[in-house]
A = this chain, B = another copy of it.
Amino acid sequence: MNLLRVNMSEHQLHWEPVPPVYDQLGGRALIARLLLEEIPPTCDALGPANKLIFAPGLLGGGGVSTAGRLSVGGKSPLTNGVKETNAGGTAGDTLPKLGIKAVVIEGQAQAGELYLLYIMADTAELLPANDLQGQGTYDTSDRLQKRFGADCTVISIGQAGEYLMTGAGIAVTGERDQRSNHAARGGLGAVMGSKGLKAIVIDKALGKSIPLVDAELFRTASRAFAQKLINDPKLGTQGSQHLYGTASIVGAVNEIGALPTRNFSTGNFEGAADLRGEHLRELILEREGKVGTRCMPGCVIACRNSYVDDVGKPIVGTLQFETIALMGSNLGLDNLDDVARLNYMCNDFGIDTIETGAALGIALEAGLAKFGDTEAILALLSQVGEGTTLGRVIGNGAVTTGRVFGIRRVPAVLGQAMPGYDPRSLKGNGVTYATSPQGADHTAGNAFGARKEVNPLGVQGQRELSLKLQIIAAMLDSTGLCLFARPPVIADPQLMVDMINGIHGWGWNKEDLDRFNRDVLRTELEFNRRAGITAADHRIPEYMCQEPLAPHNTTFDVPDSDLDAVFNTL
Contacts and interface: CB of A to CB of B under 8 A. Distances in A.
A532 B542 contact: no
B408 A403 contact: no
B542 A44 contact: yes
Identify which of A46, A190, A405, A406 gathers the most chain B CB atoms within 10 Å of its CB: A406
Interface stretch (A24-32, A163-171, A223-231, A507-515): A163-171
Given A389-B390, A390-B389, A396-B404, A536 B42 contact: yes
Contacts of A406: 46, 163-165, 190, 392
Interface residues on A, range: 35 or more
Interface string A401-412: 001111010000
Contacts of A404: 389, 392-393, 396, 400, 404
Given A44-B408, A393-B404, A532 B536 contact: yes
Contacts of A531: 536
A400 B166 CA distance: 12
A405 B389 CA distance: 8
Interface string A529-570: 011111111010111000000000000000000000000000
Q: What is the interface of chain A mostly: helix, strand, loop, or mixed?
A: loop
A312 interface: no
Given A389-B393, A536-B41, A536-B530, A403 B166 contact: yes
Contacts of A403: 166, 396, 400
A43 interface: yes
A532 B537 contact: yes
Nearest to A395: B404
A168 to B, nearest CB: 10
Given A392-B404, A403-B400, A535 B532 contact: yes
Identify which of A166, A190, A392 gathers the most chain B CB atoms within 10 Å of its CB: A392
Contacts of A530: 536
A541 B539 CA distance: 26
A315 interface: no
A563 to B, nearest CB: 12
Contacts of A396: 403-404
Contacts of A190: 406
A211 interface: no
A164 B405 CA distance: 8
Contacts of A543: 44, 47
A437 B480 CA distance: 44
A49 interface: yes
Nearest to A397: B403
Interface string A371-412: 000000000000000000110110010001001111010000
Identify which of A43, A389, A408, A535 gathers the most chain B CB atoms within 10 Å of its CB: A389
Nearest to A542: B44
Given A46-B406, A400-B400, 4 more contacts: A46-B408, A47-B542, A389-B393, A532-B535
30 contacts: A42-B539, A43-B542, A44-B408, A44-B541, A44-B543, A46-B406, A47-B408, A47-B542, A163-B406, A164-B406, A165-B406, A166-B403, A190-B406, A194-B408, A389-B389, A389-B393, A389-B404, A392-B404, A392-B405, A392-B406, A393-B404, A396-B404, A400-B400, A400-B403, A400-B404, A404-B404, A530-B536, A532-B535, A532-B536, A534-B534
